[in-house]
Amino acid sequence: MSNYIFALPQELLDTLTPRLLITPEPPRPSSPAKIEETPTNIAGARACNICPGAFFADVEAQRSHFRSDWHRYNVKVRLSQGKAVDLASFTTLLDELEDSISGSGSDSDSQISDESSTDTVNALLQKTRLNNGKRSPSPDAAISVPRTALTWFHSPPSTQIGIYNAIFPLKTSPSSYLETLKRLQTGGENGRIWSMFMVAGGHFAGLVVRVCPPDEQYKSEDEDAVAKAKKKRKPPPPKPDFEILHHKTFHRYTTRRKQGGSQSTNDKAKGNAKSAGATLRRYGEQALKEDIQNLLSEWAEEVQLSERIWLRASSSNRKIFWDYENAQIAKGDNRLRGYPFPTRRPTQSELMRCLNELTRAKVTHWTEAQLQSQDEEYLASLPKPKPAPVEAIALPPPPKEIVPKLSKEEEALREKWRRVLDMTTKGRLDALTQFWKREGESLGGVDAHVPEWTGERGSTLLQVATISGQEDVVQWLLEDLRANPTLPLFHIADDESELQAVESDHSDTMAVSKPSGPRRTAYDLARTRELRNVFRRCAASHPDWWDWYGDARVPSGLTKDKEEEQEEKKKVRRKGLKDKVRERVAKEKAQVHETTLEEPASAKITGSSKPKQEDGPRKLGGAPSAAEGLVGLTPEMRAKIERERRARAAEARMKALGSR
């Protein structure tokens, strides 16, 4: 069987029907007796996969059904995503029409002209659309199936052919594709001509081909071939599938090697390059454009007669074909098509491959049961239709937060607080001292509560300075301004993490007690030892100012005598460490000396006391590493070298302690 779409066998065309996906219908309640009487249980029965309840005993009855109005009506209804009807429902629809006709399945159908049958089917479809438009969409509506590049036709019992949709006219219903396919078998007066073009990367390939010769030419060639064959007693030669009228390929240097992209695109993105290669590529683009347009002018007659114009080009290269004066192809021409499959570099062989791909029907052989199973699996794999959107109840917008408008006095007060807190947290003591002399009283004094809008974690300036770790500012607040260290921290919930950090810092001081309960003071917020010593020195210098060891939670005072005593203890501890290090170094030296005296004579004879240095690359500095220096030594020499290293390390530690 020939699969050339312009020369399909007539026997195949007579049995073709559009291949449709069958959406599963909900089961209908029926009695067991009726189920047993249905012909589906008859072995070997033929059935129509579109019309429900249509079964045939032989092929002739099946072909007659395919030409009936009932089948035509169901085919068009299914193409419009409708629901097919059985014979009884179709008969009822016919009776409701004013100009009714006899039953579509009877023998009188052969006497009805195709035109009257088509009018009847169209009238039924129009009435069905009007009735369906008045109803609300049901949940059992057919599933919308995405359209593929191929349209499939079915020929009973098990033959399917697929043809690319791009071959058929635009803006036509798939239900008319079968009639169009039948018309493609005739060439008409001038035949059917296709123009095929490709341009990419400076390569161009063009082809004009007659895919279907004129009808008159077919007849004359057949008669001549038969007459010659009778004279020579040879079979007539096979008719050619297509005739190449023109073909042309050429190439211009327009793209950068191994980088891609045209020079014009690069110029638009980065500006005009001034290299010699860029100049050559610009010239190549202009020459390519002129060559293509001149070629289209030479092929103007065939291009105008072309039924389809196949074009592969980028958005910028497409302008070459119509963006000029006296262009042979208009932008938006209904004949323009893109190749519905991937293509390679534009060459003559690639155009021939695309021509064969487009003009050869795809043939499969599946039984109706296999097709039904494939349809069900495919429909099950499709995403389910989204439910109808539910209108959300419009909620009233939330009330906008009313921001109180501040007076000039309030804005000035806020600005003062911002400046004071900024100087406190950054430790700018000199500026803070001068500013406090002028504005301290207007802020409420040193123990004034810090406003919550500032976002500070401390409740007073003393607490803010303590959290920031500013020792000088804390000492100035305690001694010069006599800030109250017994005031608690009011933002308890916001400073739980702060308390945990402070407790971990306090863990190195045995004299500091953890705060019991949620009440915390400025001393509890001090993170460093020096900052806590500021509080302890002030408590020792001015014990009568505040309840330092009670409400202020300071563990003990720190006087100069205590500090000197602590320093003395540190010196004694350091001296004891030095003595221990000296003793250990002396002991290690004595061990090294004894080992040297007791060294076996075998090590001296072999000369392993001075190992030979190996030649080769060394690390920066020239000296070999520790592992390289011990290679090739005896265990006794390795132990000796290791003891010497330890002795040198001990001497270095003693020197470091002596320099302190």
Which residues are catalytically annotated?
Answer: 263
Q: What's the gap between Cα 361 and its chain centre?
A: 37
- Cα separation, 636 vs 350, in Å, equals 82
Coil, strand or helix: which one is 21? Answer: coil
Q: Which amino acid is at 80?
A: S
If DSSP states are collapsed to H, E and C, what string results for 534-603?
HHHHHHHHCCCCCCCCCCCCCCCCCCHHHHHHHHHHHHHHHHHHHHHHHHHHHHHHHHHHHHHHCCCHHH
If DSSP states are collapsed to H, E and C, what string results for 355-393?
HHHHHECEEECCCHHHHHHHHHHHHHHCCCCCCCCCCCC
Q: Are the CB atoms for 514 and 555 separated by under 8 Å?
A: no
- Cα separation, 211 vs 205, in Å, equals 18
DSSP 477: I
Count of CB atoms within 10 A of residue 609's CB? 15
**Cβ neighbours for 336, distance < 8 A, ≥ 6 positions apart:** 309, 311, 329
Is the preceding peptide bond at 157 cis, omega within 30 degrees of 0? yes
Task: Give the strand pairing for 362-364 and 159-164.
Answer: antiparallel
- Cα separation, 562 vs 541, in Å, equals 13
- Cα separation, 254 vs 232, in Å, equals 56
- Cα separation, 312 vs 455, in Å, equals 65
Residue for token pair 């589906």: 40
Q: For residue 624, which phi and psi values (nearest 5 degrees)?
A: -70, 160
If DSSP states are collapsed to H, E and C, what string results for 395-416?
CCCCCCCCCCCCCHHHHHHHHH
Q: Are the CB atoms for 293 and 272 separated by under 8 Å?
A: no
- C-alpha distance across the termini of the chain, in Å: 105
Picking from 352, 320, 338, 188, the residue whose alpha carbon sits closest to that of residue 254 is 320
Coil, strand or helix: which one is 252? Answer: coil
Count of CB atoms within 10 A of residue 220's CB? 12
